[in-house]
Amino acid sequence: MAGEDAAVEWHEAREANLANWEERVALHEKAYGLEAYDDPTHLSDVVRHDLAALERFLPSLAGLDVCHLQCHIGTDTLSLARAGATVTGVDFSPEALAAAARLFERQAADATWVHSDVLEARAAVTGDFDLVYTSIGTICWLADLDRWAAQIAGLLRAGGLFYIRDGHPALYSLDENAEGLEIRYRYFPNGQAQQWDEETTYAGDGTLASTRTYEWPHPLSEVVNALIGAGLQILRLDEDTTLPWRFSDRMVEVPGGYAWPEDERDRVPSTFTVVARKPA
């Protein structure tokens, strides 16, 4: 059954997730519309949104050092570079990093790529950063947010900012196949992962052989408290109704992505955004 609890060890879950994400890369290279980046002014919709949210804290990324955690195939990383940043991309998938490097080479852009689990990022990455960035579909793959937040704090320079936008945990508790807004999955953690078996991915028409994945629900309080516990100051917390991917077939296309039908839109958040600072 999709989303059922699983008493799985972290290393086992991590290996299953890695096998799945390695296979996703080829599908995503075809589905992400990489040809759009041949226009040197093109930015991903995700980064365009996130830059606007960051603007009150960082009016420009020009000349800043930015670490992009869980960078996947590098479209958002390239967009950050085009916004003026010197970028370092971190991911646990060698296939994803190879695809990201190909994208950057095609666009004659520069980046540093680091093969590492995000939970080991501080030890793997050289230097420190003005901005640590992660966005959309990231922390559900991590079992330990305290350790995650500690990596972020360690990567930031004094006064540096952390930014995350991700799917809202309230959204993830909903049944994506129901005819209405019905809660199906856990909102709160209980020490166990949720097990999924799906042969498709959110982008691309092909199928996967490594279908099993494991995710962990993280309530909003856990995210915020992990960052506070790592010594970061929360500057901003926002929630929104629009997603950059279609969580449910019932979602409708709107400017900036997808949302629930209009008569349901104000009943549940679809994303959250946190901006935090490492004290000077």
Q: What is the tens place of the pLDDT at every residue in 106-129? A: 999 999 999 999 999 999 999 999
> CATH no. for residue 45?
3.40.50.150
Q: Which residues in the chain belong to E strands, given as ranges?
A: 4-6, 65-69, 86-91, 112-115, 129-135, 156-167, 193-197, 212-215, 233-240, 252-254, 257-259, 271-277
pTM for the full predicted model: 0.95
Q: Please provide the DSSP assignment of 122-148 as one string.
A: HHHS-S-EEEEEEESS-GGG-S-HHHH
As a whole number of Å, the CA-based R_g of the chain is: 18
pLDDT at 172: 96
In this prediction, residues 50-63 reach a mean pLDDT of 97
Average pLDDT, the chain: 95
Please give the single-letter amino acid code of residue 54: L
In this prediction, residues 268-276 reach a mean pLDDT of 98
pLDDT at 200: 80
pLDDT tens readout for residues 87-99: 999 999 999 999 9
Q: Which DSSP category does 243 fall into? A: B
pLDDT at 202: 85
How many angstroms separate the Cα of 196 from the Cα of each of 108, 113, 144, 204?
Answer: 38, 29, 19, 18
Confidence at 179, pLDDT banded by 50, 70, 90 = very high
SS3 string of 150-170? Answer: HHHHHHEEEEEEEEEEEECHH
Q: Is the pLDDT of residue 34 over 60?
A: yes
- What is the tally of structural domains in the chain? 1
Q: Phi and psi (nearest 5°) for 37?
A: -80, -5
How many angstroms separate the Cα of 181 from the Cα of each of 234, 259, 261?
Answer: 30, 12, 11
The separation between the first and the last C-alpha atoms of the chain, rounded to the nearest angstrom, is 48
Proportion of the chain above pLDDT 70, given as a percent: 100
In this prediction, residues 254-277 reach a mean pLDDT of 96
pLDDT at 251: 97
Residue 193, token pair as written in the block: 């992962």
Q: Is the pLDDT of residue 1 over 60?
A: no
pLDDT tens readout for residues 218-249: 999 999 999 999 999 999 999 999 999 999 99
Burial class (CB in 10 A: 0-12, 13-18, 19+), 83: buried
State how far Cα 30 lies from the chain centre: 20
Confidence at 84, pLDDT banded by 50, 70, 90 = very high
Q: Identify whether the C-beta of residue 69 lies closer than 8 Å to the C-beta of residue 118.
A: yes
pLDDT at 230: 98
- β-strands 233-240, 271-277 pairing: antiparallel
Q: Which domain holds residue 127?
A: 4-277
In this prediction, residues 165-187 reach a mean pLDDT of 96
In this prediction, residues 179-187 reach a mean pLDDT of 96
For the chain, the residue count is: 280
pLDDT at 30: 87
pLDDT tens readout for residues 130-172: 999 999 999 999 999 999 999 999 999 999 999 999 999 999 9
Confidence at 2, pLDDT banded by 50, 70, 90 = confident
What is the Cβ-side half-sphere exposure of residue 90, based on CA atoms within 13 angstroms?
A: 23
